[in-house]
Each structure stands twice: as C-alpha cells, then as structure tokens.
Amino acid sequence: MNTQITIAGKTSHPLKINRYGYGTMRLTGEGIYGEPKNRPEALQILKQAINSGINFLDTADYYGEDVTNRLIAEALYPYPDDLIICTKVGATRKPDKSWITYNTPENLRSSIDNNLRTLQLEQISLVHFRVMHNSEVPFKESLDAMFNLQKEGKILHVGVSNVTPEELEIAMTMGAIATVENMYGHGQRTTLKMAYGESRGGEEVLAICESNEIPLIPYFSLFNSLPKKDNRIAVIAQKYKATEAQINIAWLLHRSPWILPIPGTSSLSHFEENIKAKDIHLTKEDMDFLN
C-alpha cells in the first residue's frame, strides 16, 4: 500500500503528501459553526497531527466561520516546510448556520484573500472550488476565476469539490486539476441528497481520477459510514481487534492508491485511535468481502 501520494505530479510544482491527512471541519462548534467546545483540545489535535507525520490539513474559511483557519495558525504558525494546507471556496455561512453560494469571481477573490490573511500565507498550496447546488453563476465562470487567481500567484494548485463526472471533465479542459474532493466512504459511495443540497459521490469520479492520476480526497468518509447498513465492517473490525472507524479508514486506503483520506474528529483520543488505521493491512479477501 502506497504511503505517499503526489499532487499535480505533471506540473513543475508537485507536492508530496503522506497518505493520511486530517480534516479540520469537526474542530468547530455545533452545526460546523462557531468556536469549538474545547479549544485547548482542538489546538492539541492540530499539533499532534503534525507530530504524527501528517502533512496535509483540509480547511475552509466557512468552517466556523473562519474558526479552523485561525486555529491552524494559532497552533502551527510558523508552519513546517512540508505542511500542505488545503482550503475551499465557493460557499459562505449565515448566522443562522445556513450554507449559501458564494462563487462569483469577486466572491472567490474575497475568499482567497481572507484565507491568505487568516492562515498568514502569501500563497495557498491547494484550493478546492466547492460546487454548490442551485448556483446562478456558471461553473466555467467560477472555475475560470480560480485559474486567474492561480496565474496571479495566490493559489499554487487548483482542485474541485462536490463535482459530477461531467463537471470534472469540463474542469480538466480548462486547466490542470490537482485534486477532487467528493463525498466518499464505505457506507455511502454515490451522490446523496442532503438537507442543504446534493453531496456528489466519489465512486462516480474515481475512475476518472485514477486514469488521470488525480488524487480523490473523500469528505464525510466516517459521518455517512459509521451508521451501519450491514455488519461487514463490524466483522472485519472484530477480526483485527480494531474499531469500525479504523476499518472504514483502512478500506479507503486499500480501495485505491489515489485516495487520500482526511478523517476528522474533535476528540484527541479518537484522533490517536483513527490514525492507527494506517497500520491495518487488509487482505484481498477482506476487500472482496467489504466491497
């Protein structure tokens, strides 16, 4: 099983990533909004992530709002040389915790500038354009703005998030797409309609990603997978004396060498438990059973 993955390996600025990242979304308050319940623990998790060899953090300025970015800077700045901070733009939040589209070229520029400011960076290594449902701005117009910001040097690599296969194919004709971030986990692999819109499935774009050597970064990999649909994960967890969360993560690591898991948690003990999934080696028979 590969322990590293390369982002944008066909460009002159490839990024080497240890193949287990950390998603910061759960470090916010209830409803992915506001300050964490336990701020010292949130800061400790971020520090422990780096101490554990993680060099990829997934964040967004609409987590909180801006809570996770500020936590990252407080815990880790000045950053290790190999740390890759990936953020997302295309959405924002209201005080009622609703999610709204924020994807005009002007909106995207504002979001990038805000991320640069709060993360205390001059350039962001990787930015995902997050597609929101019912957008009045054409997909190409928003993505073109992203590539313009890349040309200005504010973004090193451009990725897309929550895309259909058709949108991914379009994006690849417009410029180099470094990564794709879609919903993906053992228990939910395809598009799911949720309260705030569609979450596009990773299974639907995985073959495109693999054939073009584009890493797939799954979100909600545990959120939608831990509620059991059957007992297969539990059976394998018992076999390895592991938790079901660990087997869900191990399944992602074995599913494809182009998947970069970023499981998130607000519990330090769960973080330390989850990261042990890297040491679980599933057999072909295990994978056949789980698939």
Task: Look at residue 65 in the predicted model and tell me its pLDDT.
Answer: 84
Task: Look at residue 1 in the predicted model and tell me its pLDDT.
Answer: 73
3-state SS, residue 198: strand
Q: Which residue has the tokens 């407080």?
A: 74
Active site residues: 63
Closest CA to 44 of 64, 77, 25, 71: 71
Quick one: which H or E segment has residue 201? Answer: none
Long-range Cβ pairs for the range 282-287 (8 Å, 24+): 282/236, 282/250, 282/251, 282/254, 286/236, 286/239, 287/251, 287/254, 287/255
DSSP for 21-61, please give it: -EE-GGGSSTTTBSS-S-HHHHHHHHHHHHHTT--EEE--T
pTM of the model: 0.96
Task: Look at residue 123 in the predicted model and tell me its pLDDT.
Answer: 98
**CA-CA-CA-CA dihedral for 128, 20, 9, 105, to nearest 10:** 10
Task: Look at residue 139 in the predicted model and tell me its pLDDT.
Answer: 97
pLDDT mean for each 10 residues of the chain (291 residues): 85 92 96 94 98 98 93 98 98 89 97 98 98 94 98 97 98 97 94 86 97 96 74 96 96 97 96 97 97 91
